[in-house]
Amino acid sequence: MKHETCFKKSHPSAAVKRARNDSGNKVAVVLGAQWGDEGKGKVVDLLATESDVVCRCQGGNNAGHTVVVDEEEYDFHLLPSGIINTKCTSFIGNGVVIHLPGLFEEIDKNEKRGLKGWDKRLVISDRAHIVFDFHQAVDGLQEVQRQAQEGQNIGTTKKGIGPTYACKASRTGLRICDLMADFGEFSTRVKNLVLQYQSMYPALKVDVESELKKLKDYAERIRPLIRDGVYFMYDAIHGPPKKILVEGANAALLDIDFGTYPFVTSSNCTVGGVCTGLGIPPANIGEVYGVSKAYTTRVGIGAFPTEQLNAVGELLQTRGHEVGVTTGRKRRCALWFYVLDEIKVGVAYKINGKRVPYFPANMEVLQKVEVEYETFPGWKTDTSAVRKWSDLPPKAQNYIRFVENRIGVPIKWVGVGKSRECMIQMF
Ligand code: IMO
Ligand code: MG
């Protein structure tokens, strides 16, 4: 009884009040819904114009995001695409893996195209893991080994992504905070890591002294950009009202848990990666935008049930300029495009003639699925100048509404071309 009285009389603490009334700013998220290269950069660019903070939460410079502004084409790999927006802060979170030479190469290249003042707008988490040159070399050696042992490799970007996340998971990785601390200690740990790798890959040659020397220089260049990433994010969420945007890299079907394993990348590219890669509570995740192309592409190896190994695939590849931004490889193409007489949409997979309500986990099974399609008439008109839904050909509208109904998610924008203004806003 006494306890109850006491409970009734007590006032909620400041922390409880905060939790009830102010859970903080919400974070909008843009993710790839296919196998990458869906045009995430363009959607991020659109939303970044009204954002205060744009964050990367996973992946590394395996990503390649193109943003076209005033006919100038910027390519981003590690930098959030929001970096071109002079009003927003770009944040590279703890879930990202950073190859410092790659980061500076990217900065130099984009500076030549007109990027200015990036160093006033870029913040890097002290908890992000470092990709070393030898991680990239190991990525290459593992691909050679896969090819020799299994007759095929993954077709990675050879940016060292897999080996770096493997080090992170096996707790041998080095983070930006280590590079910022005692350099002697950092060097010892790097050398030990090299020895571990050389015991696994005797062919691996590493000039560790020269790599360390370069890193020492980079360390000083990035030092002013480094923050405690967890506190940075906490402050962004709980400080004054702010628009925060997360730019996903890679895509759902390349997610290490939900993608076409083992032909995937090494991070969680679906929404969970936003929470763990930045330190954001699930309750602060606001709108999540999945980006898809009207047809599908895939770079590298792996099951791709709707792939068009024919004239249609070639047409999509050339008309869509489907070449990887990161590796320059031709992208594999699956359906569809406006020049076609008819457009087919894959709506279900069948195994032994029976529809399966799920996406098969096993690659050999996925290689063999039969695809069930629905066919739509093509609109065969150029839509790149269209800016209003009502100006789209009815056949195109019909196709878009069908997709919307099937996926059960409202479509917010329809992209009709490369540059910033080539967008139809639906609501
Ligand atoms: P964006 O962000 C397309 C693919 C690679 C390879 C597999 C594993 O530009 O959409 P990795 O180097 O990550 O270990 O390679 O994942 N891949 C991508 N394909 N777009 C991407 O990113 C990709 N990131 C990784 O081609 O098949
Ligand atoms: Mg890309």
Per DSSP, the three-state class of 372 is strand
Phi, then psi, of 184 in degrees rounded to 5: -65, -45
| Residues with a CB atom less than 6 Å from ligand 1 | 32, 35-37, 62-65, 154-157, 159, 161-162, 249-251, 254, 263, 265-266, 299-300
Q: What is the sign of the dihedral through the CA atoms of 142, 124, 48 and 66? A: negative
Start-end ranges of CATH 1.10.300.10 in the chain? 130-222
What CATH number does domain 130-222 carry, 1.10.10.60, 1.10.540.10, 1.10.300.10, 3.60.20.30?
1.10.300.10
Calculate the dihedral angle through the C-alpha atoms of 333, 338, 340, 345, rounding to the nearest 10 degrees. 60
pLDDT of residue 418: 84
Tokens for 113, please give them.
């195209």
Phi, then psi, of 187 in degrees rounded to 5: -60, -40
Q: 63: annotated binding-site residue?
A: yes
Q: How do beta strands 370-377 and 342-351 pair?
A: antiparallel
129 annotated active-site: no
Which of 42, 45, 56, 62 for a ligand 1 pocket mutation test, highest count of atoms within 8 Å of Cβ?
Answer: 62
Cα(200)–Cα(388) distance, integer angstroms: 58
Question: The tokens 């890299």 sit on which residue?
Answer: 249
Distance 23 CA to ligand 2 centre (A): 34
168 annotated active-site: yes
Cα(148)–Cα(150) distance, integer angstroms: 6
Per DSSP, the three-state class of 320 is coil
Give the count of beta carbons closer than 10 Å to the beta carbon of residue 128.
Answer: 24
Cα(346)–Cα(336) distance, integer angstroms: 10
What CATH number does domain 25-125+226-291 carry, 3.40.50.720, 3.40.50.10790, 1.20.1090.10, 3.40.440.10?
3.40.440.10
77 annotated active-site: no
pLDDT of residue 325: 85
Neighbouring-strand partners of residue 247: 30, 56
Per DSSP, the three-state class of 216 is helix
CA-wise closest residue to 423 among 36, 35, 45 = 45
What CATH number does domain 296-425 carry, 3.90.170.10, 3.30.470.10, 3.40.1440.10, 3.40.50.150?
3.90.170.10
For every residue of 246-268, DSSP letters joined together read: EE--S-GGG-TTTSSTTSS-SS-
Tell me: cis bond preceding 393? Omega within 30 of 0 counts.
no
Q: Mean pLDDT, 10 residues at a time, over the chain (427 residues)?
A: 50 65 89 94 91 98 91 93 93 98 97 95 98 98 96 96 98 98 98 98 96 98 98 96 97 97 97 98 97 91 91 89 90 73 92 96 95 93 94 95 95 91 94
Shortest-distance Cα residue to atom 24 of ligand 1? 250
Phi, then psi, of 413 in degrees rounded to 5: -135, 150
pLDDT of residue 77: 97
Give the helix/strand (H/E) hosting 318. helix 311-319
Cα(294)–Cα(412) distance, integer angstroms: 14
pLDDT of residue 413: 96
Cα→Cα distances 227→97, 136, 286, Å = 16, 26, 24
Q: What is the sign of the dihedral through the CA atoms of 89, 94, 97 and 100? A: positive
Phi, then psi, of 58 in degrees rounded to 5: -155, 175
Where are the alpha helices (H) located in 93-172, listed in sequence order?
Answer: 100-112, 133-150, 161-170
Contact (CB, 8 A) for 27 and 274: yes
pLDDT of residue 28: 98
pLDDT of residue 366: 95
pLDDT of residue 333: 85
Cα(326)–Cα(104) distance, integer angstroms: 15
Start-end ranges of CATH 3.90.170.10 in the chain? 296-425
Tokens for 376, please give them.
């739509």
